[in-house]
């Protein structure tokens, strides 16, 4: 049986409310279910249109932690979030779901520094083709949540990444990439930004 067949559990809904209070205080919680093209993997995603401001959309997974293939350490389960500029929140939610489906299908653990190649470029047809997973810098108050006894979920943020920046990440590591982003004042929600290297 697929680990996400039953929709979000009560504990996951409580986690969604916790995340919502940090991602979008006062905004209504909307949960969408996504399914991969083969119908084997389902994923629940919290969707916050026009949060933090109009034109920026925040989305966060709620059930990625159930998929062992996408979790680097079963004792340290993970969920993903992103904040992106787009005319359509459903495109942003679909992009994050597609990232998760790729991680599950390829058995690629979600950890800081993981690159999701070409997903933004292919799905949204934007100049910044890749996404990279980092600590949730846009939401420093969102780090860990006690989902169940002994199960603390943490979030990673998916941010846009140019090919030249991907090479910097491969050659010098995540700290060097994040330093370059900080020095350039990169807007991590901008899918049309110029590369920093």
Question: Domain limits of the chain?
Answer: 10-184
As given in the structure block, the two tokens for residue 110 are 């979600």
Rounded average pLDDT over 131-141: 86
Q: Could you give the dihedral angle defined by the CA atoms of residues 37, 85, 121 and 186, in that order, rounded to the nearest 10 degrees?
A: -130
Q: pLDDT tens-digit profile of 39-91?
A: 988 999 999 999 888 999 999 999 998 887 777 777 778 899 999 999 899 99
Strand partners, 160: 131
pTM for the structure as a whole: 0.90
Q: Which H helix or E strand runs over 130?
A: strand 130-134
Confidence band, pLDDT 50/70/90 cuts, at residue 4: very low
Residue 1: per-residue pLDDT:
34
Average pLDDT in the 140-145 region?
79
Does residue 121 have a pLDDT over 80?
Answer: yes
Bridging pattern class, strands 56-61 and 78-85:
antiparallel
Whether 43 and 4 have beta carbons less than 8 Å apart is answered as yes
DSSP 66: G
83, 138 contact by CB (below 8 A) = yes
- Among the listed residues 110, 140, 138, the one whose alpha carbon sits nearest the alpha carbon of residue 48: 138
119: closest CA among 139, 85, 91, 79?
Answer: 91
* pLDDT > 50? residue 2: no
Residue with the bigger pLDDT between 70 and 130: it is 130
Q: Which residue has the tokens 């409310």?
A: 17
Quote the pLDDT of residue 6: 66
The pLDDT assigned to 23 comes to 81
- Give per-residue pLDDT as tens, 144-191: 888 877 778 889 999 999 999 999 999 999 999 999 999 999 999 999
Angstrom distance (rounded) from CA 78 to CA 67: 10
Residue 5's pLDDT is 53
- Collapsing DSSP to helix, strand or coil, 126 comes out as coil
pLDDT digits (tens, 9 = 90+) for 25-38: 888 888 999 999 98
């Amino acid at each position: 049986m697929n680990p996400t067949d039953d929709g979000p559990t009560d504990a996951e809904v409580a986690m969604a409310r916790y995340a919502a209070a940090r991602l979008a205080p006062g905004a209504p919680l909307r949960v969408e279910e996504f399914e991969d093209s083969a119908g084997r993997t389902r994923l629940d995603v919290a969707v916050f249109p026009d949060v933090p401001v109009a034109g920026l959309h925040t989305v966060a997974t709620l059930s990625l932690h159930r998929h062992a293939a996408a979790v680097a350490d079963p004792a340290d389960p993970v969920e993903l979030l992103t904040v992106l500029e787009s005319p359509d929140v459903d495109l942003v939610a679909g992009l994050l779901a597609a990232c998760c489906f790729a991680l599950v299908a390829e058995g690629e653990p979600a950890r800081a520094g993981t690159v999701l190649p070409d997903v933004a470029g292919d799905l949204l047809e934007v100049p910044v083709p890749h996404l990279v997973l980092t600590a949730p810098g846009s939401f420093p108050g969102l780090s860990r949540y006690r989902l169940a006894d002994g199960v603390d979920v943490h979030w990673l943020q998916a941010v846009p990444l140019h090919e030249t920046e991907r090479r910097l990440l491969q050659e010098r590591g995540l700290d060097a990439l994040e330093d370059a982003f900080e020095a350039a004042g990169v807007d991590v929600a901008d899918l049309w930004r110029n590369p920093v290297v």
